[in-house]
Chains A and B, each alone.
Chain A
Amino acid sequence: MDISTLFAAVAVAAPHSGAIIHLHGIDWAILVVYLLFVVGIGIITGRGSKTSEDFFLSGRSLPAWITGLAFISANLGALEVMGMSQQGYEYGMMTANYYWIGAIPAIVFMGIAMMPFFYGSKVRSVPEFLKKRYNEGARFINAFTFAVFTPAISGISMYALAVVMQDFLGWHFAQSVWVSALVVLVYTFMGGLTASIYNEVLQFFLIVLGIAPMTIIALIANHGWAHFKKWIATHQLPFLTPDQVAAAAAKPGTAVHQMPATQWMHTFQNTLTQNNPMHITWPGVVLGLGFVLSFSYWCTNFLVVQRALAAKDMNSAQRTPLLAAFPKMIFPFIVILPGLLALPLLPHLFPGNTTVNGHLIPATESFNNVMPLMMAKYYPAGLLGLGLTALMASFMSGMAGNVTAFNTVFTYDLYAVFIKPNAPDKHYLWVGRIMTIVGIVISVGFAYVVRGQSGIMGYTQTIFGVVNAPLIAVFLLGMFATFTTPAGGLWGLLVGTATSVTLWIIRSYPGLPLWHHYNNNTTGAFWGAVWAFCAGAGATIVVSLFTKKKKDEELVGLVYQLTPKPPQDANLPWWKKPIVLGVLALVLTLILNLLFW
């Protein structure tokens, strides 16, 4: 799961008997070719998986362009494609903050500053880094929460996709869930991380080439960008608080506040106050999203770090996130822009606009489903097959990413430590394959649980963010300060997480103390993350002052000050130098921010 999807409201459409989209033979042909290819890649790469390191880390052998594209694709779940286009409609270009503030700076920091320690220390997982830097307790907390939440998030993504397929294509929920789970199972079971990464790269190109035509078609349908801006300049759009959304959904026709649609064209305008579509202020965006949540996700989440650990050498590992930063920064034009451009084309998707000619519009026609609705309206047979296959690919890449990260953390950090240490490598390879099946079965199970109680969905994603938020404090103090101690790291994790969870509970129950209440969930989550970071960092520092630190020799390769700088290869061309790529990515992101300021 991605930070950008963390707050994305998810499609919770009511089951719908009649299909909105009817597929033709050509659409099926494209879908079948795709399924044959992903399974084929699994079978071919499976032949190379002979040791546990082959299976869990691709034998640390892949070039940077492959791991870089897999880095983006693994967290590009169906929820991102659906959720970001929805937010493009609901909030406009402000949604791009999830990319230009909430992703790129952290990705660049990861590549330049943190990757040398992850890759250089030869750890096999993020929890293992915590064990080496701090202690077994820190590893356990991180591994346990990761192993619990990763399949759950995957199940939520599966549920969301199955609902879309049910509502738009008339497919049975069980069919969508089991067919997609079975395909992912076949290729991850056979080829492990290599199959997952290879397919993630294929899926990356498929998602781009299947969804990018939507931006082009939406521009044609709007008679060009200039014409669209004229529409924006002359219209007002609903300015929705969560309470208003709920009220409008419960009672169609409820009046909501309006604001000029021009506000939808900016990322930061009017963020001194909350008078903007997202109701957020800039310090919350910069500190909460841009620093704590973003760095916690992109720099410490094993789902993304694992792709870089599969790289063939240190330079490739560093370039994995850096190369990923470039496509990531243009993704808003593929996933957010279609939602924004849909405003004049599908004008009735806001809550409160739920009647046309006095008839209730089905729940499927809410902004949650703006992407499939646009596809249904503008994609003819053929392109429709490509678009739907891209949606399915986005879901599968996310699920395979989650499952391969889950089986690695479970095998290396829980099973091999607490259940059966010192077993032969073949045994761990076997456990990894079994856990691939278990991970997928748990995901499917969770898809059914969520189906029964859709309220759980929002909670699980929020809690994942809440649990993740304090991590970066402990990692930064571990990598860039020598005085932090094992007990300091452990208590930093505990206090940070406890603070984060407590603040979330306070925000969830209006009857509790008022000082941490915000008038929308996004702002609350941003500030909750900031306070959790402060508490985690504070606890790490204070406990470290009174407890015993590890010997310096044990920290070589793990802490900046104690690690000899690797010799710089002067012969590297400029486009292979991490610092050059990092600066270039930041400059381009700054330009994008200024263009849409």
Chain B
Amino acid sequence: MMDLRLPIGIFFVLVGLIMVGYGVVSPHDIPHITEKVNINLYWGIVLLVFGAPMTLFGWKAEAKAKAEMKAKKL
């Protein structure tokens, strides 16, 4: 069965990239507060920091499982 970390990781990397890209291209501060915080940029980075290792671990586990399957078939 598919390693769940892979789709979750890819999902958050994608959404993280969308938010970081939007934060860079069209900076929006948090409305109605005095502090200037480009929240899309920062929160997009948080999503990337979460998603990237998930993708990596999931991808490694998938590759390992596939190699084991191949070895079994041989």
Q: Which residues from chain B sit less than 8 Å from chain A, CB to CB?
A: 1-2, 4, 7-8, 11-12, 14-15, 18-19, 22-23, 28-33, 35, 37, 39-40, 43-44, 46-47, 50
Contacts and interface: CB of A to CB of B under 8 A. Distances in A.
B1 A45 contact: yes
Interface residues of A, number: 31
Nearest to B40: A382
Given A217-B30, A217-B39, A30 B2 contact: no
Nearest to B21: A26
Contact of B33 (A30, A34, A220): A220
Per CB-CB distance, the 6 closest pairs between chain A and chain B, nearest first, are A380-B28, A382-B40, A382-B22, A221-B33, A26-B22, A37-B11
Contacts of B28: 380-382
A386 B28 CA distance: 15
A378 B12 CA distance: 22
A29 B18 contact: yes
A33 B15 contact: yes
Contact of A386 (B15, B37, B50): B15
A41 interface: yes
Given A33-B18, A221-B33, A383 B2 contact: no
Nearest to A204: B8
A417 B61 CA distance: 41
A63 to B, nearest CB: 9
Interface stretch (A154-162, A194-202, A425-433): A194-202
A33 B4 contact: no
Chain B CB within 10 A, most for which of A48, A217, A380, A386: A380
Contacts of A201: 4, 8
A136 to B, nearest CB: 35
A205 B30 CA distance: 23
B14 A33 contact: yes
A209 B4 contact: no
Q: Please report whether the interface of chain A is mostly helix, strand, loop or mixed according to DSSP.
A: helix
Given A26-B18, A30-B18, A386 B11 contact: no
Contacts of A198: 4, 7
Contact of B7 (A26, A41, A221, A378): A41
Nearest to A59: B1
A377 interface: yes
A40 interface: yes
A493 interface: no
Contacts of B18: 26, 29-30, 33, 382
Nearest to B44: A382
B12 A209 contact: yes
Interface string A376-407: 01101111001000000000000000000000
A386 B17 CA distance: 13
Given A33-B15, A209-B12, A209-B46, A221 B32 contact: yes
A445 interface: no
Contacts of B44: 382
Nearest to B20: A382
Contacts of A37: 7, 11
Interface in A289-317: none
A271 interface: no
Nearest to B15: A30
A383 B11 contact: no
A382 B19 CA distance: 6
A535 interface: no
Contact of A378 (B14, B33, B40, B43): B33
Contacts of A213: 39, 43
Contact of A44 (B2, B22, B43): B2
A61 interface: yes
Contacts of A41: 7
A152 interface: no
Contacts of B8: 201-202, 205
A577 B18 CA distance: 41
A313 to B, nearest CB: 16
B11 A34 contact: yes
Contacts of A383: 19, 39-40, 43
Nearest to B29: A380
Given A45-B1, A201-B8, 6 more contacts: A33-B15, A209-B47, A377-B32, A378-B33, A380-B28, A382-B39
